[in-house]
Amino acid sequence: MLAISDLHVAYGGTQAVDGVDLRIEKGRTVLLIGANGAGKSSLINAVIGLVRAARGLISFEGRDIGGLSSDARARLGIGYSPEGRRVFPTMSVKDNVLAGAVRLPGREQGRCWDRMVATFPFLAERQAQAAGELSGGQQQLVAIARAMSGGPKLLLLDEPFLGLAPVWIQQISAAVRQMQEEGLTVLMTEQMARPALKIAHDGHVMRAGRIRRSGTTAEIRGAALAEEYL
Ligand code: ATP
């Protein structure tokens, strides 16, 4: 579904991603784990098109997407939830969630909303409230619901659990599991390996822009947990 080869991302003189190869098959959930500054966000942002790759290829369902805008990539079926609870603060909760489904016809948007409410029930109670007024955990859920609402084929989650209380981690994990059953492919990043390892199939440990270790989550669990405390 996603194939990345020899990916380089640089900011001025800083090599954030330094020659990464990564393949994700349909239906797999892949975790990128690494400390602050390892290059995880830069890799995710290159896939959704928020940063330009200095070198390398990114293909989605066999198509080179390197030259496409972020919008075009979203329309192909890539959903994205950024690091750090980014919601549109003055827009209502419902409009925030449906911002992820704007490419769908009105009737289907209604269905998306119903599906998201079934997944995260608090959305119904807060639907008319400005998203900026919610707690941090609730804002993160809104950002994730927005990424999920359009029914993506590939979901990019950048540190979805960062700073969240266990109750929200459980809700997000349950939502990802449900979408996994429907065949969703996920690429997620985390510094906090423990909860993420429970929902991922495969993992890659990243350090200084490179993938240092790869395997199934069972295989990389030890390395990933050690990395968590670096
Ligand atoms: P974090 O968890 O802190 O987001 P990360 O693993 O996602 O870490 P990146 O955010 O991709 O790592 O950062 C990789 C490197 O690139 C770091 O050295 C960081 O300082 C640098 N970097 C990231 N974004 C920028 C930017 N916009 N301008 C300059 N340097 C940047």
- Residue identifier of the C-alpha nearest atom 31 of ligand 1: 11
What does the pLDDT look like over 162-217, one tens digit per residue? 888 898 899 999 999 998 999 999 999 998 778 899 999 999 999 999 999 999 99
**Predicted confidence band of residue 126 (pLDDT cuts 50, 70, 90):** very high
CATH of the domain at 121: 3.40.50.300
Give the pLDDT score at 228. 63
For residue 51, give Cα distances in angstroms to 29, 44, 127.
23, 9, 32
Q: How many domains does the chain have?
A: 1
The residue-averaged pLDDT of 112-123 equals: 92
* The Cα angle at residue 100 between residues 197 and 80, in degrees rounded to 5: 35
With beta carbons less than 8 A apart as the criterion, state whether 84 and 139 touch.
no
Q: Is the CB of 228 under 6 A from ligand 1?
A: no
Domain that holds residue 183: 2-228
* Cα separation, 154 vs 96, whole angstroms: 20
pTM of the model: 0.93
State the angle between helix axes of 106-119 and 166-181 in degrees (0 to 180), rounded to the nearest 10: 130
Q: Tell me, what amino acid is at 1?
A: M
Q: Is the CB of 38 under 6 A from ligand 1?
A: yes
